[in-house]
Amino acid sequence: MTTDAKTKRFLQGTTAVLAATAVLAGSGVAAAAGGRHSASVEPSMREVAQRVLGVGVPGYVARIDDGRKVRVTVAGVADRETGRKMTVRDQFEIGSNTKTFTAVLALQLVDQGKLKLDSPVEKYLPGVVPNGRNITVRMLLNHTSGLFSYTADPNFFADAEKDPQHVFTERELLDIAFRHAPTFAPGQGWAYSNTNYTLVGMIVQKVSGKGLATLAQQRIAKPLGLRHTYYANPRATYTGPGYAHGYRIKFASGTPTYTDVSDLPLGGFAGAAGAIISTPAELSRFFSSLLAGDLLSPKALQQMKTTVEMPASFGTGGYGLGLMRIDSPCGTVWGHGGDTLGHHSSAVTTENGRRSAVTDATGGPGDTEMNDSVARMITVLPASDTITICHMMGKPVPADVRDALNS
């Protein structure tokens, strides 16, 4: 994926207006490695971490498994108030990486014969979705429904900030989305929409008779041995030591201001689209296990990997059923990305699941207008994601990506 495309994806995939800061004092960078690496890739992950901190992000972690060994790079702090350093074991908000979990829960129901991908939404949620007879479950999962994303409503985050502890119901989120006309007719285009996954979550819960938190625990976390992966319901439940706080950063005043958003009800506005909490190792295990075939039948996994091309403005690759094919300059990988009000993360793996990379940067947008620091952040963070893929693949980083990191 080119740097420009990654930047566009970062802009469009985030759940808020982008912001960043350029100064962060007193944050060190540490790296740990074991064994022998297959190739030396420049710039080093230590340099990547330094650049990420340089755009104002309080903390950063990257966990890279190249198929032979695991390398970890950690930078900055997990909690600005206490100064506690970031660790690779910290839990964090994974944002839209959640969509892959939600899609897995849906496809497990397909495997059980309880849900059909090409059945209309109206069959499962009668009277809920305008034109629901012509929108299929598959269209929700691969973002070809045309339904407007509630997070794209120009007033959504401004209104939410007035009452930050408000827990939105699914009906409230849908009402916001359905006040807007569809982006296109069902099946006639592609547009990333959190509304799609709110509906997938509703369908999964109705068909199974269980809540998302219970389903994720029973059908994904327990079988894979994921002890710290769960839906925030509606808030994260382990926000003490071992938790990476997320910060909404405002830079427009000239002096960066940080708001800790870790106590917000993530499950109350992100839900099935973005409310899972995990750790780098567990998120890596999830994606590797998924691509290795441990969670779905071969047929269902193939359906998940059947992609529709994304517009060039979003990225180079394709979107399947909650799973992205990312055609990076260092090779094709599979995974997703995630943004919350206080985190920017990425999770990728090779098609056989043998290599994986997970990153998290603990700063999110707060400003309502573009400025130089925002521009720098939306260049550096996507470049750091691409470089992580190159390290995972043991491939040289293209010059334009290195230049973007050093911008």
Set 38, 40, 44, 96: catalytic member: 96
- Residue 259 has phi, psi (to 5 degrees) of -115, 120
Structure tokens at 403: 């230049």
> Residue 18 — very low, low, confident or very high, per pLDDT cuts 50/70/90?
very low
Report the range out of 33-47, 365-379, 385-399 with the highest average pLDDT. Answer: 385-399
37-96: per-residue pLDDT in tens? 345 788 999 999 999 999 999 999 999 999 999 999 999 999 999 999 999 999 999 999
What is the residue whose two structure tokens read 């006639």?
A: 188
pLDDT above 90 coverage of the chain, percent:
80
> Residue 28 — very low, low, confident or very high, per pLDDT cuts 50/70/90?
very low
To the question of pTM greater than 0.85 for the whole model, the response is yes
Are 125 and 200 in contact by the 8 Å Cβ rule? The answer is no
Structure tokens at 124: 């499962």
| Pairing label, strands 363-365, 247-250 | parallel
- 143 Cβ contact partners less than 8 Å away, ≥ 6 residues apart: 190, 191, 192, 193, 196, 308, 319
Question: CA–CA separation, 341 vs 92, rounded Å?
Answer: 12
pLDDT at 3: 37
Neighbour tally for 207: CB within 10 Å: 16
**What ranges do the domains of the chain cover?**
3-25+90-365
Give yes or no for residue 284 having a pLDDT over 90. Answer: yes
Could you tell me which CATH class the domain 3-25+90-365 is placed in?
A: alpha beta
**3-state SS class at 13:** helix
* 313 labelled catalytic: no
Neighbour tally for 331: CB within 10 Å: 16
- 64 Cβ contact partners less than 8 Å away, ≥ 6 residues apart: 45, 70, 71, 72, 73, 356, 357, 388, 391, 392
pLDDT at 38: 43
**Mean of the pLDDT values across residues 147-166?**
94
Neighbour tally for 296: CB within 10 Å: 18
